[in-house]
Amino acid sequence: MANNDFQQSVVVVTGGAAGIGRAVAEAFVAQGATVGVIDRDAATPLAGTSLLTADVRDDAEVAACIDRFAALHGRVDILVANAGVSYPATVEDGPLEDWKNILDINVLGYVRAIRAALPHLRRSSHAAIVNMSSCTAGTGLRRRVLYSATKGAIEAMTRALAADLVHEGIRVNCVSPGTVDTPLIAKLVAQAPDPDHQRKVYMDRQPTGFMVEPEEVARAVLYLAHPLARSTVGSVLTVDGGMASLRLFNS
Ligand SMILES: NC(=O)c1ccc[n+]([C@@H]2O[C@H](COP(=O)([O-])OP(=O)(O)OC[C@H]3O[C@@H](n4cnc5c(N)ncnc54)[C@H](O)[C@@H]3O)[C@@H](O)[C@H]2O)c1
């Protein structure tokens, strides 16, 4: 991809203060885009972006910051709906209030950002929405019942949204990462009884033997958002080290 491919693009990334979202925001900045980062954590702003502080659970906050950013730049061309949290649990773990909270962030948080961005995306000549899914949507992992359900919802929603919006020229796709080396994973590692062992488990469960780098996921997002990817619609782009599709039996 040549530099400045996104020079004409106004981009909003939710959960862009850390991890995958931050790498996505950085990649768009490097390609000349105007980038707004929505995050509840305002601690470490990313150079070259506008930090729009909001919690994706709050309708009014999300709408206000997207409207403000769009008013400043005339439109939004690309929305990357990415803010999400993990929740390692079986179906019997945790109070239902926790489950509602995770659904609120990981599913309704995407809906809020998409609803708020749509009027502004409609003013773009190359509008695209990229949602962040996970390999857990298509592969059963232990103690990921709720998290997997939220990611399955994102993949199903991506296809249905793509069908609703394709005739308006708004492309919707999603990325399905494997285990990505981000603060989310670092937190799960730190909480484990044996953090070194847990980190090795995360690496070993990737057929490649190493975790996905956030920058690899960012490159996938930029591909899906690229104005020239105009026939890529309603798709799931897998960046998971082979986790979902390989079976490493000796045969
Ligand atoms: N790390 C992985 O292994 C992995 C794998 C597949 C999919 N994903 C998905 O990628 C996305 C990003 O994950 P990550 O690993 O970069 O996470 P992360 O925890 O490293 O970063 C997430 C960012 O989202 C923000 N955020 C969380 N909840 C928010 C809320 N309610 N309102 C506003 N901002 C909020 C956080 O402040 C943080 O800046 C998530 O949707 C996650 O499910 C991650």
pLDDT tens digit sequence for 116-153: 999 999 999 999 999 999 999 999 999 999 999 999 99
pLDDT at 28 over 60: yes
Nearest CA to ligand 1 atom 6: 134
Q: Which fold has domain 10-177+215-233?
A: Rossmann fold (3.40.50)
Report pLDDT for 45: 83
Listed as own residue / partner, the contacts of 155-163 with beta carbons closer than 8 Å and 24 or more positions apart are 155/236, 157/107, 157/110, 157/111, 157/131, 158/131, 158/133, 158/234, 158/236, 159/234, 161/114, 161/129, 162/233, 162/234, 163/234
> Quick one: average pLDDT of 200-219?
96
Q: What is the mean pLDDT of residues 217-230?
A: 98
What pTM was computed for the model? 0.98
Tokens 């809020």, residue?
Answer: 112
Partners of 89 in the beta sheet? 144
Mean pLDDT of the chain, nearest integer: 96
Atom number in ligand 1 closest to CA 187: 19
Active site residues: 147
> Which pLDDT belongs to residue 2?
54
Q: Does the CB atom of residue 84 touch ligand 1 within 6 A?
A: yes
Q: Check whether 41 has a pLDDT greater than 80.
A: yes
What stretch(es) of the chain map to CATH 3.40.50.720? 10-177+215-233
Residue 158 pLDDT greater than 70, yes or no? yes
